[in-house]
Structure 1
Amino acid sequence: MSAISAQLLTGVAYGMLYFMIAAGLTIILGVMNVVNLAHGTLFMLGAYIAFTFINEELNFWIALFLAVFLTAIFGLFLEKWLIKHVYGKELEQVLLTFGLSFIIADAVEWIWGTEMHTLPVPDLLSGSLSIGDTAFPVYRLFVVFIGCLLALLLWYLETKTRIGAIIRAGVDDRAMVSALGINVGLVFTGVFAFGAALAGLSGVLGGPLIGMYTGMDSEILVTSLIVVVIGGLGSWKGSFIGAIAIGVIETLGKVWFPSLSMLTVFLIMMIVLIIRPQGLFGREVA
């Protein structure tokens, strides 16, 4: 029983990692109606930036802050220079962000190489807790805690703050929000930078769990898109539930039937879409 509990907790930890990146993706999609296929490379970029700072003898927490901040700034420049020119143009958005993902991924390979790296677990979180006769890493519990904390932060921002009200109104009627004198362009830039910061955060926190390697950006993008589709487009609540489900199913699948674990994830997505085409918490389109 303890081994199963440890596997379930591991699945929740990976689910929280998926939630952090999928939340940024679904917020950008829900507010700006932009399908950002370069989101996975922002995840990878955050991890590699933190790796560089740690190699320069900075501690994990400073490297985490700097990586998240720099990834957010990079996302801000992407939105201001490129993304804003393709608002409302779905095909152009896909082509632009898909091309950007290749450019950023190649730049990462050129700067850091193709060999696999990993981020060290900070000393404060390097221990383990005993679950029956199984030792469970404290760091994974920390990732679960950060994921839950992020969910609470998003709930508070959405329901208790003025910026949350503006964003909700902007999703429903952007023209009305603009007519009220609110700078929608500035809101969009802030949302994109926030989504990029979440991608960078998940990349740094994921470094000690999954490592850093060529192709990690495309793998995490596919998983996060599955989470977004299951949860419902534009719903961070759906991403939270969907990410936990995918994390647990994927983890247990790798233990019980490793050759079919990814197939199981796609089957879950298919079943959800058959029952609710808009996803678990997505709004029905009239």
Structure 2
Amino acid sequence: MDLANFLIQLLNSLQYGLLLFMLAAGLTLIFGIMGVVNLAHGSFYMLGAYLAWSLSTQLNSLALAIVVGAVLSVLLGLALEWLLFRHFYHRDHLDQVLLTFGLIYVFEEVRSLLWGDDVHGVNVPPALDWSIPLTDTLSYPGYRLFMSGLCLLLAGGLYLLISRTRLGMKIRAGAFNRDMAESLGINIKLIHATVFALGVGLASVAGMIAAPIASVYPNMGSQVLIMCFVVVVIGGIGSVRGALISALLVGLVDTFGKVLLPQASGMLVYMLMAAVLLWKPEGLFKQ
């Protein structure tokens, strides 16, 4: 592998890892703080992709579609938390699994009724439809660099929210000891609603920005859900920092594995997870 190809795969792994982080961050927050096993998290990724296709067609702007779609996704998250999830916080994980597994089928049926079962493509915005030449024959798309930059921006914003704001302090307190935080006057129901809506919004935005390079098709959320759980387990349940480090590791192993060891690429990520769990059963970072 020459330097240009290595650089392309390194950038691809960074972009893929950051996209996984956006998905896994919401998942680890929901599980670590609310104690809810959300198997429907991948459906929010699919929802974002379909919103990007539908809204960009109507508004003739992907950027505007992402903004409107993010707002709609957060509102959906607030509605789902109020109608369903808040009634399952103190229930067994099996009840939560059954609820969220059922939601996958509900979202798939709603998607089929609203947008059909065809595969769709989302055009790259003209302002980002350019490439950086690396050699005479190889170049790197500017839109992928935009994806990485946006994911880094959102990751930085999430870090500041969790670690530097009063809301983040309440979220951390609720994650550490829910009953004690509530006895100190923190509105745990509001914190749970905020965290769930934030997780839905992050997953949906990930689907929206990935739509131009991954296409939009039925059941696309199920393919990323398993990888998200792998990232959460490796990083440590409830740890946003762990989710970031883990997502970047998974991105590197998956991307370079497909190039260097294509026959074994399907199991390399799971071998990484097994090795980490043998070394640190609680994941790389505790909550």
Pair 1:266 & 2:255 matched: no
Matched residue SS, 1:129: strand
Q: Which residue of 2 aligns with 1:51?
A: 53
Tell me which residue corresponds to 2:87.
85
Q: 2: distance between equivalents of 1:71 and 1:60? A: 16
Q: CA deviation at 1:136?
A: 0.3
Q: Determine which of 5, 9, 12 is the counterpart of 1:10.
A: 12
Q: Are residue 121 (structure 1) and residue 124 (structure 2) matched?
A: yes
Give the deviation of 1:56 after TM superposition.
1.3
Moved more, 1-10 or 141-150: 141-150
Q: Percent identity?
A: 41
| Conservation of the 8 A alpha-carbon contact between 1:50 and 1:66 | no
Change (3 A) 1:258 1:115: farther
Q: 1:231 aligns with which of 235, 239, 259?
A: 235
AA at the equivalent of 1:24 = G
Deviation at 1:88, TM superposition (A): 2.4
Alignment of 1:150-229 (within 5 A): 150-229=154-233
Measure how far apart 1:54 and its partner are.
Answer: 1.4
Q: CA RMSD in A?
A: 1.3
Q: Distance in 1 between matches of 2:263 and 2:69?
A: 35
SS of the equivalent of 2:264 reads: helix
Secondary structure at the aligned position of 1:136 is classed as strand
- SS state at 2:175 partner: helix
Q: Quick one: distance in 1 between partners of 2:180 and 2:235?
A: 28
What are the ranges of 5 or more consecutive residues in structure 1 without an aligned counterpart? none
Mapped partners of 2:234, 2:29: distance in 1: 15
TM (norm. structure 1) is 0.95
Distance between the aligned counterparts of 1:109 and 1:246, measured in 2?
32
Worse-matched range after superposition: 114-123 or 184-193 = 114-123
- Aligned counterparts, 1:108-147, within 5 A: 108-133=111-136, 134-147=138-151
| Residue number in structure 2 paired with 1:64 | 66
47-56 or 188-197, which deviates more: 47-56
Tell me how far 1:259 sits from its aligned partner. Answer: 3.7
Structure 2 residue ranges without an equivalent (≥5): none
Tell me, what secondary structure is at the counterpart of 2:140? strand
Shift of 1:209: 2.1
CA distance in 1, matches of 2:53, 2:108: 16
More deviation in 161-170 or 106-115?
Answer: 106-115
CA contact (8 A) 2:48 2:203 kept: yes
Supply the distance in 1 between the matched residues of 2:144 and 2:252 (Cα, whole angstroms): 13
The reply to whether residue 149 of structure 1 matches residue 153 of structure 2 is yes
- 8 Å CA contact 2:236, 2:286 repeated in 1: yes
Q: Deviations over 1:201-224 (max 9, x none)?
A: 001011112111122111111111
Q: Deviations over 1:19-46 (max 9, x none)?
A: 1111111111111111111110011001
Of 143-152 and 42-51, the range deviating more from structure 2 = 143-152
2:21 aligns with: 19
Specify the alignment match of 1:73 in structure 2: 75
TM-score by length of 2: 0.95
**Deviation (angstroms), 1:57:** 3.9
Superposed CA offset, 1:38-78 (max 9, x none): 11001100110121111214301110011111111111111
Structure 2 contact 162–169 (Cα < 8 Å) conserved: yes
Q: Find 1:38's aligned residue among 40, 44, 52.
A: 40
1:151-182 per-position Cα deviation (integer Å, ceiling 9, x unaligned): 21122112211111111111111112111222
